Amino acid sequence: MSLWNRTHNLDRMTLPELVRAFFTYPAIWTYLGLSAVSVALILRWMEQPWRLLPAVVVTVLVYPLVWYLLHRYVLHGRYLYKSRFTASSWKRIHFDHHQDPHNLRVLFGALYTTLPTIAIVTLPVGYAIAGPTGALTAFATGLLTTVFYEFCHCVQHLNFAPKSAFLQRIKKLHLQHHFHNEQGNYGITNYAWDRLLGTYYATVRDLPKSATVFNLGYTEDEALRYPWVAAQSQGTRGDGNPRRFRVASSEN
């Protein structure tokens, strides 16, 4: 079986196994490949390297806010599963990850959503700062930041106790988002916007346990009204076991 088609369970993997698997995934290859092409074009066309630094800085600063807003209001919003035209995308890009948080295959965002988002956010910012080379610089920065985010995200779900205080902290906060209450801690590596916008919680004592932490509000009742996600996923997960599903159908 191709490495790309395997199901990697992060809860049963070591850090070296994760590193090997991480760099076999097409999404990571795509991000790194496009970054390399962008850098090559920048080196060929740039005239004043110092003008490109602000594009890097602004991209790094904007990225956490964009991720926060998308994660909170789009990925955790309930309107995508209510349309047959967007239900499968929502299922792929976030529902499946909350249904089975340790499955590496659904941890990565889908390229048809991530690449346009990175381009839309970074290219105009970079172009406004330093023209075409600024746009490429911001785009490359966004791609490499995404690789960093994705790796940290993997470590957060890995059966591994990081020695780094930074990784320990973000792992704890992110696992609370997945296993205690999904209505907070939307950041991945940066929780500043959670603090500023009132969705940060440091310990499980700060918020009650959420009944929708695994299904993001796509309950059996919702599945009866909007069946498209359930039809593709054999039902909705209602407990902490990724192999147990409550099948949603009009006959139940």
| Residue ranges per structural domain of the chain | 3-233
Cβ within 8 Å of residue 15, ≥6 positions away: 155, 158, 160
> pLDDT value at position 177?
97
Confidence of residue 241 (pLDDT cuts 50, 70, 90): very low
Q: Is the pLDDT of residue 248 over 60?
A: no
Separation between Cα atoms, residue 182 and residue 175, nearest integer Å: 9
pLDDT bucket at 237, cuts 50 / 70 / 90: low
Predicted local distance difference test score (pLDDT) of residue 3: 46
Neighbours of 163 (CB within 10 A): 7
Residue 2 has pLDDT above 50, yes or no: no
C-alpha distance from residue 157 to each of 81, 162, 179 (Å): 25, 11, 11
**pLDDT higher than threshold 70 for residue 236:** no
The residue among 129, 109, 112, 122 whose CA lies nearest residue 65 is 122
Specify the DSSP element, H or E, that contains 134: helix 111-157
Cβ-Cβ contacts under 8 Å for 4 (sequence gap 6 or more): 24, 25, 26
Confidence (pLDDT) at 73? 97
Rounded Cα gap, residues 224 and 49, in angstroms: 57
Q: Which two tokens stand for residue 81?
A: 């599963």
* Residue 123 predicted with pLDDT over 80: yes
Query: What is the b/e burial string over 217-243, where b = at least 16 CB atoms within 10 angstroms of the residue's CB?
Result: ebbbebbeebbbbbeebebbbbeeeee
Report pLDDT digits (tens) over 43-82: 999 888 888 999 999 999 999 999 999 999 999 999 999 9
pLDDT confidence of residue 12: 87
pLDDT at 154 over 60: yes
Asked if the model's pLDDT at residue 242 lies above 70, the reply is no
With CA atoms as reference, report the closest residue to 194 among 176, 208, 179: 176
Question: What is this structure's pTM?
Answer: 0.87
The reported pLDDT for the residue numbered 11 is 85
Q: What is the pLDDT of residue 81?
A: 95
Higher confidence at residue 249 or residue 187? 187
